[in-house]
């Protein structure tokens, strides 16, 4: 039987990805704010950022719409009202897009006064 050589760098990358996945799973289910903060700090320390785009313009290429919130303010139309489910990015690679609620101008509301 021939031994298979595994590159240590490839193995480390694979193990890092598995640990990140496990941390995201735990973060999604954590009930304690302290646990959430500690997991978020640990992930941030290795380059994994939480994506909470509240107040930013909605971009379907970067965000997933979970719902809408009515607004009478035309300036808020298309702006993210809140993040329903956190997203995550490992440096520049999005691991999971955030699911967001987007302000939508009420029908009948005009952009002019």
Structure tokens at 71: 């607004």
Task: Say what the pLDDT of residue 109 is.
Answer: 61
pLDDT band at 111 (very low <50, low <70, confident <90, very high): low
Model pTM score: 0.78
Q: For the segment 94-105, what is each residue's pLDDT rounded down to a tens digit?
A: 999 999 999 999
d(CA 79, CA 62): 13
The full set of domain ranges for the chain reads 7-46, 48-113
Q: For the segment 49-79, what is each residue's pLDDT rounded down to a tens digit?
A: 999 999 999 999 999 999 999 999 999 999 9
In this prediction, residues 14-35 reach a mean pLDDT of 94
In CATH terms, 48-113 corresponds, of 3.40.50.300, 2.30.22.10, 3.40.630.40, 2.40.50.140, to 2.30.22.10
d(CA 57, CA 14): 34
């Amino acid at each position: 039987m021939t031994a298979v050589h595994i590159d240590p760098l490839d193995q480390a990358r694979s193990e890092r990805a598995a640990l990140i996945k496990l941390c995201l799973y735990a973060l999604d289910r954590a009930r304690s704010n302290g646990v959430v903060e500690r997991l978020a700090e640990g992930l941030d320390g290795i380059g994994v950022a939480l994506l909470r785009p509240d107040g930013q313009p909605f971009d379907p290429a970067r965000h997933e719409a979970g719902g809408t919130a009515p607004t009478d303010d035309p300036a808020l139309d298309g702006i993210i009202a809140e993040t329903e489910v956190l997203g995550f990015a490992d440096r520049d690679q999005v691991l999971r897009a955030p699911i967001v609620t987007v302000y939508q101008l009420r029908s009948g509301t005009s952009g002019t006064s």
